[in-house]
Amino acid sequence: MEGNARYVSGEMNQRDFSAGRAARAQGQAPFAAILGCADSRVAPELAFDQGPGELFIVRVAGNFVTPEGLGSLEFGAAVLGTKVIMVLGHTSCGAVNATVEAVQKGNNLPGHIAGLVTAMKPGIEPVVKAGGTDLEQRSVVANVRANVSRLQTEKPILGDMVAAGKLKVVGAYYDLPTGKVILV
């Protein structure tokens, strides 16, 4: 979060990315993992002012847990030693908006896009059914929370590490206009 404050203020650390290249070729030891959206406007290394090798990033449109993403996050925690996983959503998320619209109108989306909506629907549908203001924002947060909850209990690796106090899973969203990351 300190890195995000630097990013928001425009006072990011200056880095020579070539300096650690040889050391990074020998292995990696990221301190955190990010389950983030594939949206091209959200770049976690920049948003948190981190250099290569410091974050282990898994991305999928809608920042939700897939079998492959779960395996990757398990690898990050169990093998690489990440101590925290952040599920990172963002404002104006097209995948979240498509899911909200599908819940409201029953849209049939083409190709594999429908699979994204199906996977995200359990976390978002209760918010849509409840109605009210700020539906888009509340849906982004609900999606993040649903995936945090899933990762905290996913057996055998992540759930056991969380229970043992060896891993923390948190949620946040990135505000596109400001660049600020807000914990949820």
Helix (H, G, I), strand (E, B) or coil at 84: strand
The DSSP symbol for 165 reads T
Give the range of the structural domain holding residue 179, as residue numbers without chain letter: 2-94+148-183
Q: How far apart are CA 70 and CA 58, in angstroms?
A: 9
Is 60 exposed, middle or buried, given 0-12, 13-18 or 19+ CB atoms closer than 10 A? middle
Q: What is the pLDDT of residue 16?
A: 78
Question: Does 139 fall in a domain?
Answer: no
Question: Does 152 fall in a domain?
Answer: yes
- Comparing C-alpha atoms, which of 113, 1, 93, 83 is closest to residue 39? 93
Q: How far apart are CA 12 and CA 4, in angstroms?
A: 9
Question: Does 103 fall in a domain?
Answer: no
Question: Does 72 fall in a domain?
Answer: yes
Question: Does 134 fall in a domain?
Answer: no
pLDDT above 90: residue 134:
yes
- Containing H/E element for 168? strand 168-174
The DSSP symbol for 180 reads -
> What average pLDDT score do residues 76-91 get?
98
> What average pLDDT score do residues 46-58 get?
95
Among the residue ranges 17-31, 70-84, 126-140, the one predicted with the least confidence is 17-31
Q: What is the CATH number of the domain that holds 38?
A: 3.40.1050.10
Q: How confident is residue 79, by pLDDT bands cut at 50, 70 and 90?
A: very high
Question: Does 143 fall in a domain?
Answer: no
Question: Does 140 fall in a domain?
Answer: no
Our count of domains for the chain comes to 1
Q: How far is CA 98 from CA 68, 95, 103, 150, in A?
A: 22, 5, 9, 22
**Mean pLDDT in the chain?**
95
Question: Does 37 fall in a domain?
Answer: yes
C-alpha gyration radius of the chain: 17
